[in-house]
């Protein structure tokens, strides 16, 4: 699966395609997070699948040799972890690594060299030494974690000794066959002292000419992987702009680059020699080819939502909001730019121009089908347009804009705005197939994750609102309680939006932390930080009991202790109800009267099952891929 995914990026024109972190030894096991490995010679053929796929399209293949240290709990291998000292596990697990003695350091150097030789045998072109992100080498480098008194501790030269040895030994192992790169942090941690930042820079200058390439980032992965809600594209420049002035070796950096002009600007201004682009290459594997061909308007720009990153924490294949083919290159044989041409002259009516409807229309149009896209309002985009107007989510509008821009170039797709249809209207269009993509609406009745049934009408009275109301411009006045039983991004955003109007806000959630699922998108810390800075009061671990129009009663999920919070309004961020009335009416008519002329009625996206925007885009894409195609063995996904 990973080989097919990375081969697709190489086909799209990326010059170098790298693995993610690749473990060099069983004592550096990161499961359930998916990661590559070069533990033994048996892994060579596994990694060669990727290098072959990348080389088939003329790109170079890189491998990031990695040893986790105090970030490895080794749940799978049950091996003891190693680090510069026996410090707490930095991934939050109740394990501590063993403090390395000199024999352990010798073993590490041996493991790293053997992994480099296996990487060479697998025909990688670039071999990385990984010295950042709170893994073992970064702890040796830091005076804050390295308190050794031998030749690997004390002075900066001593603390950098292991990194220098690994660079030298890796270069000796791979010879002229591979370049050796170092992934290195130059600072950027929240609250990091100026002294530590200066040391990082001095250390880089000391080792400046050792590797063949410097891959520069910052130690704080949540900041480096920052979502667009909190961090701008290219946000690392302020930390690493000095690097080219201290080394003659090529420099690459990352930073969620979404604009080709921004990429070119950093190269032109001498900030870097190469642009690293993980998330942009996920959103559009063919971004370089489109730049080369002058088709900038065809680029699917990353929106910075970090749905791609959720796969790491969930232990699942990678997903993308913008690119529904990501992770499906092998399993479903999907290509981001190629789709089968139409198999009939059928016409399709799509009702609803949200993310599912737009994607279905785009792909059906690309296949050559005649499509009518009917939207009840003047504005296209559905929930994407509404949510992109919330604080910090403006880049999400790219989900709509890319698809509308592509559709408007197609003669096959006709858009009908301000066209709210009932079942008779649908039938009268004469369409052969009907797709209902009318989305979902937030519920007011309190059904949510911790309370999977509606509250009685007597329990919820007064000024009760939903995110839909807030997004429609209804701003409550006075103290407002936001009850978040959804636990993703919406609760925090609604609290922030109301607070920015000058109202006092309390956010209540049954979860132990605010926006718990945002841990998977690397933003939960910044969500809670933003709310606290704005003065939003937080009540975690409390479940809603009732609201009488004056007091919101909540109960502690552990102790049954109750609180009464005086409030002028209660905003319910709980669950969503599919807007499937039209689908059900049409389905009934279709089943009862075959003479109406409709050959199929299908619901997709939130109208079928409310979920992520990424799931809606995927649903629209999958419908268009599979429409009018007879299933066969080759169409079935590979689940091995």
CA-based torsion, 147, 153, 154, 156: positive or negative: negative
What confidence category does residue 634 fall into, taking pLDDT thresholds of 50, 70 and 90?
Answer: low
Cα distances (Å, whole numbers) of residue 587 to 366, 571, 603: 27, 34, 10
Task: List the domains of the chain with CATH numbers.
Answer: 16-185 (3.20.20.70), 347-439+579-635 (3.40.50.720), 444-577 (3.50.50.60)
The rounded distance, in Å, linking the Cα atoms of 552 and 180 is: 61
Average pLDDT, the chain: 94
Structure confidence at residue 255 (pLDDT): 86
Sorted by sequence, the CB contacts under 8 Å of residue 420 that are 6+ apart come out as 376
The residues facing 60 across adjacent strands are 16
The pLDDT of 520-535, averaged and rounded, is 96
C-alpha distances (whole Å) from 78 to each of 31, 97, 287, 379 are 11, 12, 41, 55
Hey, what's the torsion of the CAs at 391, 394, 400, 404, to 10 degrees? 140
pLDDT for 133 equals 87
The rounded distance, in Å, linking the Cα atoms of 322 and 300 is 7
Residues 78-102 have a mean pLDDT of 93
The confidence band for 258, taking pLDDT boundaries of 50, 70 and 90, is: confident
A 10 A CB-CB count for 598 gives 21
Whether a cis peptide bond, with omega within 30° of 0, leads into 32 is: yes
Residue 520 annotated in active site: no
> By CB neighbour count within 10 A (0-12 exposed, 13-18 middle, 19+ buried), where does 150 fall?
exposed
User: Which pLDDT tens digit goes with each residue over 389-426?
Assistant: 999 999 999 999 999 999 999 999 999 999 999 999 99
Does the pLDDT of residue 146 top 70, yes or no?
A: yes
The mean pLDDT of 242-247, rounded to a whole number, is 94
Give the length of the chain.
640
SS3 193: coil
382 token code pair: 């559905």
Per-residue pLDDT of 322-376, as tens digits, reads: 999 999 999 999 999 999 999 899 999 999 999 999 999 999 999 999 999 999 9
Q: What's the CA gap between 442 and 610, in Å, rounded?
A: 10
Above 90 in pLDDT, residue 596? no
| Confidence (pLDDT) at 193 | 65
Q: What is the pLDDT of residue 402?
A: 98
* Segment 302-320 mean pLDDT: 93
Indicate if the pLDDT at residue 638 is higher than 90. Answer: no
Question: Considering only 30-44, 145-159, 314-328, 416-430, which range has the smallest mean pLDDT?
Answer: 30-44
pLDDT at 189: 66
175: DSSP letter? T
Q: Looking at 128, 130, 135, 455, which residue is catalytic?
A: 135
DSSP designation for 457? G
pLDDT at site 271: 94
Q: Are 139 and 145 spatial neighbours (Cβ–Cβ below 8 Å)?
A: yes
Residue-level pLDDT at 199: 86
Compute the 3-state secondary structure of the chain and give helix, strand, coil in percent, each to the nearest 5: 35, 20, 45
Pairwise CA distance, residues 221 & 521, whole Å:
11
Say yes or no to pLDDT of 631 above 90: no
DSSP annotation of 246? T
**Mean local confidence (pLDDT), 435-458:** 96
Q: Report the 10 Å Cβ neighbour count for 587.
A: 18
pLDDT category at 82 given cuts 50, 70, 90 is very high
Helix (H, G, I), strand (E, B), or coil: what is residue 312?
helix
- Going 440 to 443 to 449 to 451, the CA torsion angle's sign is negative
pLDDT at 612: 98
Query: DSSP assignment, residue 100?
Result: P
Nearest to 65 by CA among 9, 124, 8, 1: 124
| In the predicted structure, residue 190 carries a pLDDT above the cut 80 | no
Q: How far is CA 365 from the centre of its chain?
A: 28
Decide if pLDDT at 377 tops 80: yes
Query: How many Cβ atoms are within 10 Å of 350's Cβ, its own excluded?
Result: 30
The whole-number pLDDT of residue 632 equals 64
Q: What percent of the chain has pLDDT over 90?
A: 85
User: What average pLDDT does the segment 266-281 reach?
Assistant: 94
**CA gyration radius for the chain?**
27
Alpha carbon distance 639, 622 (integer Å): 17
Question: What is the predicted pLDDT for the residue at 635?
Answer: 59
Pairwise CA distance, residues 577 & 607, whole Å: 8
* pLDDT of amino acid 92: 87
Q: What is the pLDDT of residue 422?
A: 96
pLDDT at 26: 96
Per-residue pLDDT at 280 exceeds 70: yes
C-alpha 580 chain-centroid distance: 29
Q: How far apart are CA 99 and CA 148, in angstroms?
A: 10
Per-residue model confidence (pLDDT) at position 630 = 76
In this prediction, residue 192 carries a pLDDT of 63
Residue 188, pLDDT above cutoff 90: no
Q: Inter-axis angle of helices 161-174 and 102-121, to 10 degrees?
A: 30
pLDDT at 312: 86
């Amino acid at each position: 699966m990973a080989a097919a995914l990375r081969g697709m990026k190489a086909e799209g024109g990326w010059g170098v395609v790298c693995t993610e972190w690749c473990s060099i030894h069983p004592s550096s096991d990161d499961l359930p997070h998916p990661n590559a490995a070069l533990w033994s010679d048996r892994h060579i053929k596994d990694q060669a699948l990727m290098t072959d796929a990348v080389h088939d399209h003329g790109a170079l293949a890189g491998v990031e040799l990695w040893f986790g240290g105090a970030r490895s709990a080794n749940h799978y291998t049950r091996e003891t972890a190693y680090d510069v000292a026996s410090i707490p596990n930095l991934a939050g697990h109740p394990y501590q690594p063993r403090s390395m003695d000199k024999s352990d350091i010798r073993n590490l150097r041996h493991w790293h060299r053997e992994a480099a030789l296996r990487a060479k045998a697998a025909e990688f072109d670039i071999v990385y030494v990984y010295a950042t992100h709170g893994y073992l080498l970064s702890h040796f480098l830091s005076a804050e974690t390295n308190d050794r008194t031998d030749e690997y501790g004390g002075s900066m030269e001593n603390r950098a000794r292991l990194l220098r040895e690994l660079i030298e030994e890796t270069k000796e192992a791979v010879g002229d066959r591979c370049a050796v790169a170092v992934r290195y942090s130059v600072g950027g941690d929240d609250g990091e002292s100026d002294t530590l930042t200066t040391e990082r820079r001095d250390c880089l200058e000391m080792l400046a000419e050792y590797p063949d390439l410097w891959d520069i980032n910052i130690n704080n992965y949540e900041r480096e992987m920052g979502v667009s809600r909190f961090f701008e594209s290219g946000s690392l420049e302020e930390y690493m702009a000095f690097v080219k002035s201290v080394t003659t070796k090529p420099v690459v950096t990352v930073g969620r680059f979404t604009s080709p002009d921004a990429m070119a600007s950093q190269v032109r201004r001498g900030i870097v020699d190469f642009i690293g682009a993980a998330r942009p290459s996920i959103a559009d594997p063919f971004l370089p080819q489109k730049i080369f061909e002058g088709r900038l308007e065809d680029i699917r720009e990353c929106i910075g939502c970090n749905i791609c990153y959720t796969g790491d924490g969930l232990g699942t294949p990678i997903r993308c909001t913008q690119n529904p083919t990501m992770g499906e290159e092998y399993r479903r044989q999907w290509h981001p730019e190629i789709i089968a041409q139409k198999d009939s002259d059928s016409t399709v009516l799509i009702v609803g121009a949200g993310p599912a409807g737009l994607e279905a229309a785009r792909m059906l149009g690309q296949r050559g089908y005649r499509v009518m896209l009917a939207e009840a309002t003047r504005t296209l985009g559905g929930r994407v347009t509404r949510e992109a107007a919330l604080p910090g989510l403006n880049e999400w509008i790219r989900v709509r804009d890319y698809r509308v821009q592509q559709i408007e170039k197609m003669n096959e797709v006709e858009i009908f705005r301000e066209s709210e249809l009932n079942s008779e209207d649908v039938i009268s269009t004469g369409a052969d197939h009907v797709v209902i993509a009318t989305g979902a609406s937030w519920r007011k009745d309190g059904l949510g994750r911790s309370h999977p049934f509606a509250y009685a009408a007597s329990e919820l009275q007064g000024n009760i609102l939903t995110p839909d109301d807030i997004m429609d411009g209804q701003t409550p006045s006075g103290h407002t309680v936001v009850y978040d039983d959804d636990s993703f991004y919406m609760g925090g955003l609604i609290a922030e939006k109301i607070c920015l109007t000058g109202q006092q806000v309390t956010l209540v959630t049954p979860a132990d932390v605010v926006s718990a699922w945002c841990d998977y998108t690397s933003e939960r810390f910044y969500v809670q930080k933003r709310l606290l800075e704005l003065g939003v009061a937080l009540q975690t671990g409390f479940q809603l009991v009732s609201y009488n129009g004056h007091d919101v009663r909540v109960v502690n999920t552990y102790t049954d202790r109750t609180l009464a919070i005086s409030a002028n309004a209660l905003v319910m961020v709980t669950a969503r109800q599919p807007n499937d009335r039209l689908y059900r009416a049409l389905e009934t008519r279709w089943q009862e009267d075959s003479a109406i002329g409709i050959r199929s009625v299908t619901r997709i996206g939130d109208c079928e099952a409310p979920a992520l925007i990424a799931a809606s885009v995927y649903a629209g894409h999958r419908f268009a891929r599979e429409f009018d195609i007879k299933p066969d063995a080759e169409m079935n996904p590979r689940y091995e």
